[in-house]
Structure 1
Amino acid sequence: MQAARLLLCAAAAHAPVPASAAGWDVGKASSNFELVALDDAELSSRSIDVVHMGDVELTSGRIVAADPLAQPDRPALARTVAPGDYPVTLYRAFGRIAAASMRVAEGKPDHWELAVLPGQDPAMLKDDEIFGYPVDAGVGCYMDANTLDLIDEREAQVQAQKPDADINYYDDVLASELDANKNHYALHRPIAGKKGNVAVFWSGWGDGVYPVFWGLDKDGRPLVLLTDFGVIENSDGRREPKVQ
């Protein structure tokens, strides 16, 4: 499965990719939706470790799910939520981040839909295709679209401190925060004292293309956002999936 994902690291940012090549079960997209309905004890019984990261501060409600190092300016998802602070949970298995959820409202989803960017139409996908975001730096994230301005501001501050150096946001800013959590995750605040942060997390198998899904109630209201990194199947971490 890892080798298949690595083949996709240079995929076009907005184009669909073959679901089978990305390691997804064609026609199903994800078998891990049950993750968000299980409590910590139930997840532990399935050999899944839970990390409650804290809240992502959405100042506009326009959500960016992306590799924040390779593509921080990726467009926000088409569906928006009310501005607010929303908790992020990581699901870890086989020593990797298997999935990441952001809870928008309480409740068990009635149905799921693929999260898309403006202009992406799931109805246009072929049976063996899926939309997802490309990862080229081994991490994914949830953040508000406005937070990009804070990242740019932080980068400018670092550049001013090192005017003759080539600035790398990972090395110069994020590395120490990720190191504190074994490089698995960090709740990063670009500018101290300013609202707007980034939930950064290891993207399962590393580089590749990963889909994001909305869990909706029976009336179509969003309850949770889930990124599936394809590390586990059937919401169970006791048996590692076979290599595709």
Structure 2
Amino acid sequence: MALAADWDVSKVSSNLGVFALSDAEMAERQITVTPIGELDLPTGEIIACDPLVSDIETPALSRKVEPGRYPVSLLEARGRVAAAVLRFSPGAPVRWELATVPGEDVAALKGDEVYGYPVDAGLGSFMDKTAIVLMSDEQDKLKYGDYYGEVLAAEFAPNQDRFVLHHPVAGNPLNIAMFGSGWGDGSYPSFWGLDAGGEPLLLMTDFGVLENADGRETR
């Protein structure tokens, strides 16, 4: 379906060009890249969400990827997580696509309207759709049902509460990449970075900390 004439993906994020920057340009713009490990995606169906306010009914993104393990990194600026990146293949995207879930129609968007996931606990995440089922099952076993306080707080602490690759079940490779959501609660869009053939190179959630792919306080 054709997009509305006045809607353009670049209008809803000025930061998509960050992946074309050299290491020197990233440093000049005070953006730090922090690798946090590999995410297990046994089905290739990805959920991007606030993991503490989501449940087994949370839908996976409409676009799927090949099952596998893929590296996750954070773009950090101004002392915050500015963006989270799930990388499938090397290279700079040649075009971008808004990440949506079933029922969301990009053709209905106008101007700077955008779909994103709601954050109410200050966290974002990437996970396989099967991981949220494990996490929900483990939460049901907790004494007080406080997943952050009883489980995650101790895991986040060594990384200054910025991120963790959390395994809901010890010994099970299925994990969840969790990270701070920029300025905190809100609604944040994710974007597929595509190659010339339309295949995904990366998935990025923009937390609105960068402006024009720049992390400096004044520009």
Task: State the TM-score, normalizing by the size of structure 1.
Answer: 0.81
Other-structure match for 1:48: 31
Q: Which amino acid aligns with 1:81?
A: V
> Which of 189, 196, 208 is 1:230 aligned to?
208
- Following the alignment from structure 2 to structure 1, what is the Cα–Cα distance between the partners of residues 212 and 202? 18
Q: Which amino acid aligns with 2:122?
A: G
C-alpha displacement of 1:178:
1.1
Other-structure match for 1:28: 11
1:75 equivalenced with 2:59 (yes/no): yes
Asked whether the equivalents of residues 105 and 223 of structure 1 are also in contact (C-alpha less than 8 Å), the reply is: yes
Cα deviation, 1:119-141, whole Å, max 9, x if unaligned, reads: 21100112241100000000000
Pair 147,232 (structure 1): closer, same or farther in 2 beyond 3 Å? same
> Which of 121, 135, 149 is 1:151 aligned to?
135
Pair 37,128 (structure 1): closer, same or farther in 2 beyond 3 Å? closer
1:132 equivalenced with 2:132 (yes/no): no
> Which of 205, 210, 216 is 2:194 aligned to?
216
1:141 equivalenced with 2:119 (yes/no): no
Other-structure match for 2:4: none
Other-structure match for 1:192: 170
C-alpha displacement of 1:40:
4.1
- Following the alignment from structure 2 to structure 1, what is the Cα–Cα distance between the partners of residues 9 and 19? 22
Cα deviation, 1:153-176, whole Å, max 9, x if unaligned, reads: 32244x3xx3xxx22111111111
CA RMSD of superposed structures (Å): 1.8
Alignment of 1:172-191 (within 5 A): 172-191=150-169
Other-structure match for 2:45: 62
What SS class does the counterpart of residue 12 from structure 2 fall into?
coil
- Following the alignment from structure 1 to structure 2, what is the Cα–Cα distance between the partners of residues 180 and 168? 20
What is the number of equivalent residue pairs in this alignment?
211
Q: Percent identity?
A: 51
Pair 26,189 (structure 1): closer, same or farther in 2 beyond 3 Å? closer
> Which of 69, 75, 86 is 1:91 aligned to?
75
Alignment of 1:102-141 (within 5 A): 102-141=86-125
Task: State the TM-score, normalizing by the size of structure 2.
Answer: 0.90
Other-structure match for 2:3: none
Pair 27,107 (structure 1): closer, same or farther in 2 beyond 3 Å? closer
Larger mean CA deviation between 37-46 and 230-239 belongs to 37-46
C-alpha displacement of 1:76:
0.3
Q: Which amino acid aligns with 1:94?
A: R
Q: Which amino acid aligns with 2:49?
A: A
C-alpha displacement of 1:192:
1.5
C-alpha displacement of 1:39:
4.6
What SS class does the counterpart of residue 155 from structure 1 fall into?
helix
Asked whether the equivalents of residues 59 and 195 of structure 1 are also in contact (C-alpha less than 8 Å), the reply is: no
